[in-house]
Structure 1
């Protein structure tokens, strides 16, 4: 990570990984300031001396605040949804930039538009994938239980189909049972999809949770993350395996995540 000391501003939303990101940048001596765009008590309590809160509707003022600190590197962590353009307080020139390709109901287009807008202000939006390369899932993390050989073979046999689904930009996670895809993540998110199996898990014997980046997700804003809360749900609802695509997922609190998988009855498959 070729940066100088304390030269990154973190724009953070809610969630545990935003707090983890702040700790990571602090340990690397890269964190200059944190801009909160939604409530995050962990960050507010630990980093209150270097935290400023903004509403995303005031994105113009956020940009001005960053530039006054003579910082050009920005890292965004957490879900960012642009408000309707008529609610964003903008200069005329900025409104023109955002208006060109503003599709309110498409999260991926929103991410790309936000990236272009920030870069149009002469700021560098950093890649989550590059900054947190140590937290990416990799082939060496794979851990298979002895009685899951058939499950592993089924995943490998269907790997081209799995990768095709993610390339079609349909979803960033899905569930398989044997050769069948039985659930795809919708707008309500990963954990809500998994919770549907609370009363269905007895009907399926070999549930496999699969996650990857979608085709149109971008590394700077919405790179997919998995953490221990999702893992707890998978264990609770008797999933047999987690399948993650190599170098395409950030694992929050990775050491603990891997330890918890190894202690559980789950296999971790990396393709």
Structure 2
């Protein structure tokens, strides 16, 4: 490895010089700090080798650099701009001022450029702070914290970018304050913190004041990149700001994670923007999810879209609690359309048809640029088919299992969908062959957190012994599934208990079914633990010895958690009959489908009886060979569920945004 040359850190104010010095020390790189009097903080530099120089002493500075065999220089930290009369230049400084007199009366960038040329003329190489600590650069455009800007916030941000770039083009400053669609104040030689404080009186009466910082057009990037830190956030909060926007890859966030946590705590948004590609106007997206799993997928997609899109997004449509947390106002509760099976759908058919017409009509009037339907094909695809607006791009996320139920559906879908996003690579062949543009994004379960479950945490929290037999029950995410499966599960648990003795039970529940589940198991003769968050659910899975689950996405979660399990699913007699006639696949558990063999026992329809299920469950509990066989295949599952780099929601968001004009 080539040894790096000794570095001179020319230090202004703030903590950035200390960050650079600490990094060099960790990396074993030689360095010296040259502190500028009246700017650098002496208390922060005590532990580092340093020399003090006043700003006008150019001759002394160059002698120090040569004496220490310096080859590279980084100039970092805030510097108060001196006047000609208080700079107290030495002879070299006077010569520099005379030769650069025009620049001295111009802006900061002009002076910085002249200083860099002077150093380079002496044989020194000036490098940017991002050449040393690239992680300080603001990341790619998107929302950086938990707080998202509102539509009016975005409008202020875009207006602020235009004002900031105009200000920068005249070399006057990098930051502006905008609120309620008007310019409040601009940065001057006193810096950003003074700008925020000076705006205090005006912002107290505004609903959404925003600080916007961007790189000056044609700015010398190696010095004086726009910078924010915790003090910026604290001042913004104190002065009633809604948030802060900084330019992606052209600005610095000192102690980024700490800054994001502070912004979240204080309720301020923090966003990264591409100041060179400002697009006006709100992007209207209609999004529909009809069940709990689709609600989770939808919320992740909404987050990814907000992060990647350069325009403010307004979401409309139908979704559950997770999507509503991301800003969706659902037209109605998804419980009204979350039905499966012929006998369950039939009594609610008029309501479902009415809701399909309502949503399709709503979308036609709204005319969104994009309609995204997620899973729940019997509802969402009927909506997509009815949408008449030619200006709306129709995208379906999570391919319907046409390979299992209706092979002819793929050809029909191609007539009204512009794009299909699939979870598995093998699905592309079923749809691409009929002319439907199809992209595989990978399975959303891979970003669920299931791989991070901590079993010991769950057992300690609930005072469970390490040798206690813990059974995880997952009766389904729809109300009708819960009502069908829990009575069967109760009988199964009694049978297992009679064979193995003491058992403990945990039931993860979603908000949609939580009350129903707790009411139905209240009379059970066992102590039952409930989990209501994803983290608790995955800790419970990691703590459990075996699971019994209704068929669905949760089967993949169990496999990724390496939890041996049995799959069950019960329907009414008429739905059973229709399923036997129409189903075209050997398996329904996606683990079995992906490996084309029965790794997890499936007890479905007429076979879904307490006797059959308890027999399979006992085999897993009592036979380590069966558990090891399942575990062997579970360990291979993750690579089959991913598609390239990045989270599935991020890949899906990119695919969606490619279709936005």
Q: Would you say the 8 A contact 1:10–1:31 is kept in 2?
A: no
Aligned residue for 2:193, secondary structure, equals helix
Q: Does 1:231 align with 2:222?
A: no
TM-score for the superposition, normalised by structure 1: 0.84
Residue pair 1:5, 1:29 contacting (<8 A) in 2 also: no
CA distance in 2, matches of 1:160, 1:193: 16
Asked if residue 28 in structure 1 is aligned to residue 30 in structure 2, the reply is no
- Per the alignment, residue 154 of structure 1 pairs with 155
Specify the alignment match of 1:258 in structure 2. 260
Is 1:110 the counterpart of 2:114 in the alignment? no
Q: TM-score, normalised by structure 2?
A: 0.37
In the alignment, which residue of structure 2 is the partner of 1:37?
36
C-alpha deviation, 1:234, in angstroms: 0.6
* 1:109 Cα deviation from its structure 2 partner: 1.9
Q: Secondary structure at the match of 2:177?
A: strand
Q: Deviations over 1:174-231 (max 9, x none)?
A: 1111322221112222112211343333321111111112235422332221111111
Residue 150 of structure 1: how far off its partner (Å): 1.4
Residue 219 (structure 2) pairs with residue 220 (structure 1):
no
8 A contact 2:160–2:212 mirrored in 1: no
SS at match of 2:10: strand
1:203 is paired with a residue whose SS is: coil
Instruction: Verify the 8 A CA contact 2:12 2:35 in the aligned structure 1.
Output: yes
**Structure 1: tracts of 5 or more residues without a match:** none
Q: Which has the larger radius of gyration?
A: 2
Q: Which residue of 2 aligns with 1:137?
A: 138
Bigger RCO of structures 1 and 2 (CA < 8 A, at least 6 apart): 1
Once the 2 structures are TM-superposed, how far is the Cα of residue 5 of structure 1 from its aligned partner?
Answer: 4.4
Q: What residue number does 2:651 align with?
A: none
Aligned in 2, Cα 1:121/1:157: closer, same or farther, shift over 3 Å? Answer: closer
Are 1:185 and 2:184 an aligned pair? no
C-alpha distance in structure 2 between counterparts of 1:83 and 1:114, whole Å = 16
Structure 2 Cα separation of the partners of residues 98 and 118 of structure 1: 14
Q: Distance in 1 between matches of 2:83 and 2:194?
A: 24
- Counterpart-to-counterpart distance in 2, 1:43 and 1:163: 32
| Long gaps (5+) in structure 2 | 274-661
* d(CA) in 2 for partners of 1:203, 1:187: 26
> Is the alpha carbon distance of 1:156 and 1:227 closer, same or farther for their aligned partners in structure 2, counting shifts above 3 Å?
closer
CA distance in 2, matches of 1:156, 1:172: 14
Tell me, in whole angstroms, the C-alpha distance in 1 between the residues paired with 2:187 and 2:169. 14
Work out the CA distance in 2 between the residues paired with 1:178 and 1:199.
14
Deviation per CA, 1:75-115: give whole Å up to 9, x if none: 11124547749943235xx8656533323333322211111
Deviation at 1:243, TM superposition (A): 0.9
CA RMSD between the two structures: 2.8
Deviation at 1:156, TM superposition (A): 6.2
TM-aligned CA distance change 1:240 to 1:156, over 3 Å: closer
Cα distance in structure 1, aligned partners of 2:213 and 2:154: 17
Q: Which moved more, 1:51-60 or 1:230-239?
A: 51-60
Change over 3 Å in CA distance of 1:233–1:6 after alignment to 2: same
- Cα distance change on mapping 1:3 and 1:246 into 2, 3 Å: farther
Runs ≥4 residues deviating over 6 A:
none
Closer, same or farther in 2 for the Cα pair 1:157/1:115, shift >3 Å? closer
Aligned length: 265
Separation in 1 of the partners of 2:221 and 2:187? 20
Cα pair 1:154 1:179 within 8 Å, conserved = yes
